[in-house]
Structure 1
Amino acid sequence: MPYKRRRRRKLNIPAGVLALIAALVVGLVAVVGQYEHIQDAREASISESNAALLQRKQAFIHRLVPYAKTLYVNYGVLPSITISQAILESDWGNSKLASDYHNLFGVKASTAESGQELTTQEFVNGQWQTVTGRFRVYSDDYASMRDHALLLAHGTSWNHNQYATVIAARDYQTAARALQTSGYATDPGYTSKLIAIIQKYKLNQYDTKE
């Protein structure tokens, strides 16, 4: 028996339904376009925010570089170490200790010195703990930088050679490890954090006496 091709039945869709479908499609396209516009605007805003943040960080570095190089000549502290410690200890100058009291390095005050009591995080007995400490107060950031260089060059009152290996170091990696072993900070990741900062922002380019 020969095969008979069946004719397709034509769908009779009411005009109102077609109009509704068309309106829905147009609306969906508009929503997608609006979403993409919002996403583009959000990404542009994030990009601008990141650019502004990077600019502020670079400004912080460039402000410290000239005096860090002077301190290198006078006391032997590598500029990359001075700057990376300032970044890490002060959160780019944003910590309360740095912004209010110009203490960029978390240097504590002795009992005979005037100081400001603040809470801080220290790694004690294998865990982070919130403790209260007395910290030195400075007239400006440069006074803090000089005091930090003097501390590393002349040591503490109980050990004048405490940071001698830091001063003797001729590269930032050796100096960063020496800070850790000399007991500058309780953070077990202190060395790796300093090295990461130095490498990310190429701070070792300033380790010259020229």
Structure 2
Amino acid sequence: MDMKLDTKSQLEMSRSTLDFNGLDTLRTAAKNGDGKALEEAAKQFEAIFVKMLLSSMRKAQDALADQDSPFNSEQVKFYRDMHDQQLATDLSTNGSIGLAEIIIQQMDINKEATTINGLRSNANIEDINRYRKLLQENNHKTVSNSDASIQKQAAFASPKDFVQGLYDKAVAAAEKLDIDPKALLAQAAVETGWGKYVIQQNDGNSSHNLFGIKADPRWQGKKAVVDTIEYVNQIPEKQQASFRSYSDFADSLSDYVDFIKSNPRYSEAIEKTENAASYFKSLQEAGYATDPSYADKIMSVYNGSLLNELLP
């Protein structure tokens, strides 16, 4: 049997399972002058790197997962990890990322070295980004299914009740901020799911917090300490935080206006209140929310038929 063909077979078998013992085979092939050894080593390194990336994403998903869900069992995780492992191998084998190519160009003494700027123009991580987006969507579903019913309570029976119950109060608050009251209703709808998920206090009573305003050191009133979701590097993570608690919804709307107007970081947003899209974009850029789609979600409600049909 051809020794090089046999070595190639061993290398491919090792790569398909990410077996670290295969590095010995690579070393032997390199000593025998097999030019494929560096290429295989680079692909295996890239696969290991991608597997680590996928594993870090999975940790975020596991942190948010419902422990009682049948989809969170050890058996499911076992097969999920096998899938991720093979996905990492396929991505490296197909050259979807291009890291292996850079390693080869840097390490091969028979080729001219290149910098990272020399990465081929069609190299990209679209597959990884697609996978990352899928994980984020799964994380959102997990949070919605597992946490909302425990830590939040319905204050309104329907979107219609939400709009009818808050519209007059929103008009009064909007006048102080010089903004369309519909914009405040849209933001509150996104924050509370049309009033279905208003944060509860520890005693079980409603916090009446319509805008997710946290209780920073300046806040001297009541607080509601709950688990929440914050985005770190665009990945949702479960954290515990304190939120402001109000006596009623009118108090919440009034405090929102004071909170925005008294905070220098939102000064640019205040100058754009005549345009809801510009206002919420500036609000997000100033750090009001960590959700990268926060402004888009609000504008979707603001321009949507549901809110506009319900307005008096």
TM-score, normalised relative to structure 2: 0.44
Q: Does 1:138 align with 2:246?
A: yes
1:165 aligns with one of 265, 268, 278: 268
User: Is residue 81–residue 175 contact of structure 1 (8 Å, CA) maintained in 2?
Assistant: no
- Spell out, residue by residue over 1:164-187, the C-alpha distance to the aligned partner (whole angstroms, 9 max, x if none): 222222111111211111111000
Aligned-partner SS, 1:129:
strand
Identity %: 27
Q: Is the 8 Å Cα contact of residues 120 and 132 (structure 1) preserved in structure 2?
A: yes
Q: CA deviation at 1:69?
A: 1.6
User: Contact conserved, 1:103 with 1:137, CA < 8 A, in 2?
Assistant: yes
Structure-2 residue corresponding to 1:29: none
Matched, 1:195 2:303: no
Q: Spell out, residue by residue over 1:148-202, the C-alpha distance to the aligned partner (whole angstroms, 9 max, x if none).
A: 11111221xxxx3x11222222111111211111111000000110110001135
Letter in 2 for 1:60: F
Mapping for residues 13-162 of structure 1, pairs under 5 Å: 56-97=158-199, 100-111=206-217, 113=220, 114-155=222-263, 160=264, 162=265
Gaps of 5+ in 1: 1-54
What secondary structure is seen at the aligned counterpart in 1 of 2:158? Answer: helix
Instruction: Determine if contact 1:77/1:166 at 8 Å carries over to the other structure.
Output: no
The structure 2 residue matched to 1:184, chosen from 288, 292, 295, is 288
Whether contact under 8 Å (1:77, 1:149) holds in the other structure is: no
Q: Give the TM-score normalised by structure 1.
A: 0.63
- Figure out how many residues of one structure are paired with residues of the other and give that number: 147
Task: Give me the CA root mean square deviation.
Answer: 2.3
Q: Distance in 1 between matches of 2:225 and 2:257?
A: 23
Alpha-carbon distance between aligned partners in 2 of 1:149 and 1:69, rounded to the nearest angstrom? 12
Amino acid at match of 1:63: G
Task: Please tell me whether the aligned partners of residues 75 and 149 of structure 1 are also in contact (alpha carbons under 8 angstroms).
Answer: yes
CA contact (8 A) 1:77 1:152 kept: no
CA distance in structure 2 between the partners assigned to 1:73 and 1:85 by the alignment: 16
Q: Which ranges in structure 2 are unaligned for 5 or more consecutive residues? A: 1-156
Distance in 1 separating the partners of 2:294 and 2:214: 17
**Aligned residue type for 2:259:** L
AA in 2 matched with 1:76: D
Q: Report if aligned partners of 2:234, 2:292 keep a CA contact under 8 Å in 1.
A: no
